Amino acid sequence: MLNDKVILMTGGTGSFGKKCTEVILKRYKPRKLIIFSRDELKQYEMSQVFSDKEYPSIRYFIGDVRDKERLHRAFRNVDCVIHAAALKQVPAAEYNPFEAVKTNILGAENIINVALDRGVKKIIALSTDKAANPINLYGATKLCSDKLFIAGNSYVGRDETAFSVVRYGNVVGSRGSVIPFFLKEKGKGVLPITDPRMTRFWITLEQGVNFVLSCLERMVGGELFVPKLPSMNIMDLAKAIAPECKTKVIGIRPGEKLHEVMIPSDDARRTLEFKNYYLIQPDFRFFTRRFKAKGGKPVAEDFEYNSGTNPWILTTDKLKEMMKTL
């Protein structure tokens, strides 16, 4: 799929970007793999692991998705774009709302426009569970970004450019995740719990990368992909990580949900179920022909993909196995 192709990844020095780079270089032979990000220190550190001497296809571009001119230069002859750049810390987005809008919304608009101008074939954007029925600014900016990428297909005309979105839940061990926080706190003997009823979906970094790459291969434009994932209660998570620790309930944080929703019931009428994932079809009438040959089974009208009602429960043993990837 990616052999002899030019791939550009925004946010390429983040957790996802580094793992995705590792998988692409191991599995494919791209003509170029462009790591596009705004932090020169992270690029330098990443180049110590993936050097251009060992991997002649790799390129490191300093740039910001807010800068349309730089994107226009970087997208020259690019075949595929994986858009992973975002301001994603919930408290930071609440305190700096204009900055989140500039990166997550205006940055998305820049990528769509430049991709169309440069004739990029496929663009897949990473979303988040927080974009489904958002209650915080980060989630709201990502919902807006998702809508922009899906609608980007309306501007394509007779060209071959296609835009799609991938949405998944909490990544085991990602920065800001509860798992590394619990591992750090277990030495104190007490784990702070926001609410004993809280549940979350879980996925490993490698599973997330594999899902994104599989969606990049199967996408036709306009879809929003959601993987089927196990979920776990926060108390079970705490027991699995530090069974010897006591727990202390501290109350739910601002902008946080009790349960994670990846497909709201309002989207059920447009959702198709496949073996390992769900696909939310776009609302645009003229896109429907794209999905007729794809198969999939419509879900029930009252369906909601919610971590609190998800029948697939993550066991303690499976969680420990997932944590070995850290």
Say how many residues make up the chain: 326
CB 262, CB 305: distance < 8 Å: yes
**How far, in Å, CA of 220 to CA of 163, rounded?**
8
Q: State which residues form the domain around 31.
A: 6-169+203-228+261-305
321 within domain boundaries: no
Structural domain total, the chain? 1
Q: Scanning the structure block, which residue is given the tokens 């462009």?
A: 34
Q: How far is CA 225 from the centre of its chain?
A: 10
Q: Scanning the structure block, which residue is given the tokens 């926080």?
A: 181
**Per-residue pLDDT tens digits for 272-322:** 999 999 999 998 876 767 776 678 899 999 999 999 999 999 998 899 888
CB 184, CB 176: distance < 8 Å: no
Question: Could you tell me the two tokens for 281?
Answer: 């079809």
Return the number of other C-beta atoms located less than 10 Å from residue 323's C-beta: 16
234 within domain boundaries: no
212 within domain boundaries: yes
**How far, in Å, CA of 173 to CA of 192, rounded?**
17
Given a cut of 80, is residue 266 above it in pLDDT?
yes
Q: Say if pTM beats, i.e. exceeds, 0.75.
A: yes
**How far, in Å, CA of 82 to CA of 90, rounded?**
22
If you average pLDDT over every residue of the chain, what do you get?
93
Q: Mean pLDDT check: name the lowest of 25-34, 116-125, 252-261, 272-281.
A: 252-261
Question: Mean pLDDT, to the nearest integer, of 46-74?
Answer: 97
319 within domain boundaries: no
Q: What pairs with residue 190 in β-bridges? A: 246
253 within domain boundaries: no
Interacting residues of 11 by C-beta distance below 8 A, sequence separation 6+: 17, 36, 37, 83, 84, 85, 86
Q: Is 227 helix (H, G, I), strand (E, B) or coil?
A: strand
Taking Cα atoms as reference points, which of 252, 266, 270 lies closest to residue 150?
270
Question: Mean pLDDT, to the nearest integer, of 118-145?
Answer: 96
178 within domain boundaries: no
Angle between helices 15-27 and 205-218 (to 10 degrees): 60
128 within domain boundaries: yes
183 within domain boundaries: no
Name the residues annotated as catalytic.
130
Here the CATH number for the domain that contains residue 51 is: 3.40.50.720
